[in-house]
Amino acid sequence: MKLSAEQKKDLSIYRMEKAKAHLEEARSNYDHGHFNTSANRSYNAILSAARSLLILRGIDTKTHDGMKTMIAQEFIHQGYLDKSISETIRVLYARRVDSDYGDFVSIDKSDALDSINRAGDFIEKTEKIQKEFLKDLT
């Protein structure tokens, strides 16, 4: 997919807004005691935030593994994001898979809150990078 700088900018902004909406859904589900769904939405928040950065590099991954690989290659190894981001992605993805597909698996309150906090931190860090990259596109 070949996008213009303006299209990349618009898509990146849209995806970051989507990430924030997912985080709010995670918080709402947590407040209502829906911890499995909260963990799911927390992971989707970081997925959307990561994709908002990747599109600025012209990368549009189609898989979760592709996202993890490209975030590492383009943003962690390049020094934009700390290596601990890989652990956040791994933990939130595992919780999402467990909560969505695991039999007799339940995300507890503390893990759901940890997922929300990690997702919020991820969004905060990626949004700072996004803003810097958006300046370069204009």
For residues 75-96, give the mean pLDDT. 96
- Asked if the model's pLDDT at residue 11 lies above 80, the reply is yes
Q: Is the pTM higher than 0.85?
A: yes
CATH of the domain at 43: 1.20.120.330
What's the number of domains the chain is made of? Answer: 1
Who's near 96: CB < 8 A, 6+ residues apart? 39, 40, 42, 43, 44
* Torsion sign across C-alpha atoms 58, 88, 123, 81: negative
pLDDT digit string (tens) for 47-64?
999 999 999 999 999 899
Q: Give dist(CA 7, CA 137) in Å, integer.
A: 10
CB of 67 within 8 A of CB of 54?
yes
- By CB atoms closer than 10 A (0-12, 13-18, 19+), residue 42 is buried
- The parent domain of residue 126 ranges over 5-137
Q: Is pLDDT at 138 greater than 70 in this prediction?
A: no
pLDDT above 70 coverage of the chain, percent: 99
Which pLDDT score, from 0 to 100, does residue 102 have? 87
